[in-house]
Homo-oligomer: A and B are copies of this chain.
């Protein structure tokens, strides 16, 4: 069935125009417009027009241009709020282990291809890195690290990012063995002390 026919059928069944078809159409339109015009050049109005829906739907579904970019281009396979909740649920002296385990469980489950696609967009799409940073800082770093209340918060956060990004690059993108196929428990034992020190330890 053609897309127009699908949408017609949806309307006849009374589905509102702001439904999941609209959401998918916005993601497809956004990906095309962000690639053509870059993050700064793309406007919510242009994306909505391309998708044939009202611009208000962008706020409704994605909370704005940044959230739409995160979904359409970065394709994060998790909800940052859920991740923050899970990391905050426990003793801060054990947060390094929870971070490494959560990171590996999330990306091992989605498969390395999704992480590779994210890194490809970060290395080749100038704005992707900035949006990713703003997104992670807003939803995870501010909530999680600020609750720890240490000095050098931003430096600690970027050190954590450096080890996690690198672990993902070696495990999923470059696939250097044996790290690429090492079980999660062994990875946690090896890497969690690094993350723990970056968050609560002496770093200068």
Contacts and interface: CB of A to CB of B under 8 A. Distances in A.
Nearest to A203: B190
Contacts of A162: 163, 166-167, 169-171, 179, 191
A88 to B, nearest CB: 22
A70 interface: no
A177 B158 contact: yes
Contact of A204 (B123, B165, B190): B190
A42 interface: no
Copies of this chain assembled into the complex: 2
A189 B170 contact: no
Contacts of A155: 178-179, 182, 190
A170 B161 contact: yes
A75 to B, nearest CB: 14
A76 interface: no
Contacts of A116: 123
A7 interface: no
Interface string A143-169: 000000000001100110111111101
Name, among A122, A123, A155, A182, the residue most crowded by chain B CB atoms within 10 Å (CB to CB): A123
Interface in A43-96: none
A35 to B, nearest CB: 15
List 8 tightest A-B contacts by C-beta distance, closest first: A166-B166, A158-B179, A129-B174, A162-B166, A120-B123, A162-B170, A165-B166, A190-B203
10 contacts: A119-B123, A119-B169, A129-B173, A154-B177, A155-B190, A158-B180, A159-B191, A161-B176, A162-B163, A169-B169
